[in-house]
Structure formats: structure tokens, C-alpha cells
Amino acid sequence: MKIPINLASQPFRRDRAMLAASIAVSLMLVGTLGALISLIMADRVLLADVRSDVDGLNRQIRAATAEQERLDAVLRKPENAEVLERSVFLNALLYRKGISWTRIFADLEKTIPYNVKVLAIRPSMNSENHVMLDMTVGADSPEPVIQLYKALEESPLFGSVVEHNSLPPTQSDPLYRYRMTVIYAQKL
């Protein structure tokens, strides 16, 4: 066996800087791992609170749904169907009665140009309990009716205008007639 005695045959290697950097990076990674573990544990505690709140809300929803189903079953009984139908009818009448003709005409007066005549108006309620005005208007030319459309759409009290039909003037009726529907924002 040959034992090397000459140190010059194996030059000095500089591994100390690499080892020190590797140890520093390893310590940094271990510190980051510890921080992530602590964040996960804190998040679990918060999620446990949220889960318990969600479970409580789900229990309340199930209880309210069960109560609603019980009440619906009572209303669906044949002896109660007539009362339910009557109350729906009365509610619809009350909504229709709540439409103020005075307010409709006052708001239309502020919006309609002076040279457009309202020939017919019929308020009704849609499925979302919004007041719909089915109107027939007349004018000497189409331009004032176009101004009416613009005025209705720009007004905060009225919504978009849907034109159903238009009739040109005849010998017996000198007005251009337009039938339209507009949403009216009257508070009931």
C-alpha cells in the first residue's frame, strides 16, 4: 500500500464556501417549511370556525325548508285551495288598484312632447309586479313620436319602449298612430 506523503499531489479543494452556502439554504428552507406548517395550522383553525358556521346555516336552511314544505302541504289541501286562490286574486286586485292614474298622467305630461297626443292608455302588471303602460299615441308627423321614444327612454320614470305597430294617416284620421309598451317605474 502506498501512502501519499506529498501534499502537492492532491491540491487543496475549496469546499468550505459551498458547504456553508448549502447549510444556509437548507436552514432557510427549513424555516420556510416551519412558516408554512404554522400557516396551515392557523388556516385549519379558521376553517373549523367557518365550517361550523356553514353547518349551522345549513341546519337553519333545512329547518326553514321543512317548515315551508309543511306550510305548502297545508295550503295544498282541497279545503284551503279556495282561500289561497281568493287571496291571490285579491292581491292582484290590490296591486292593480294601487296604480295611480293621476301620477301616470302627471309623469307623462312631464315627458311627452307638446305635439304628441295620447289616444289610449292601458296600465297592467307584469310577472315581476312592474307597471306596464300600453299606449296608443298620435302625431302629425313621425318626428315627434321619435322624440317621445327618446324622452321616455331617457326619463328615470320610464324604461325601454317596445313599438308594436304604426298606422299612417287616413282621410278620416290625419294622425300617424303608434302603439307601444313602456315600463313605468311607479312605486306601489
Residues 112 and 177 in one domain: yes
* Residues 97 and 88: beta-carbon distance below 8 Å: no
Residue 7 domain-assigned (yes or no): no
Residues 176 and 133 in one domain: yes
Q: The domain spanning residue 128 has which CATH number? A: 3.30.70.2830
pLDDT per position as a tens digit, 84-129: 788 878 877 777 777 778 888 888 888 888 899 999 998 887 777 7
Residues 106 and 170 in one domain: yes
- Sheet (strand 158-167) strand order: 116-125, 131-139, 176-184, 158-167
Number of domains in the chain: 2
CA nearest to 120, candidates 108, 140, 136, 133: 136
Residues 105 and 58 in one domain: no
- 3-class SS at 102? helix
Question: In which band, very low, low, confident or very high, does the pLDDT at 160 lie, cut at 50, 70 and 90?
Answer: confident
Question: In which band, very low, low, confident or very high, does the pLDDT at 45 lie, cut at 50, 70 and 90?
Answer: confident
Residues 103 and 180 in one domain: yes
Residues 40 and 110 in one domain: no
Residue 41 domain-assigned (yes or no): yes
Residue 4 domain-assigned (yes or no): no
Per the structure, the complete domain to which residue 57 belongs is given by 16-76
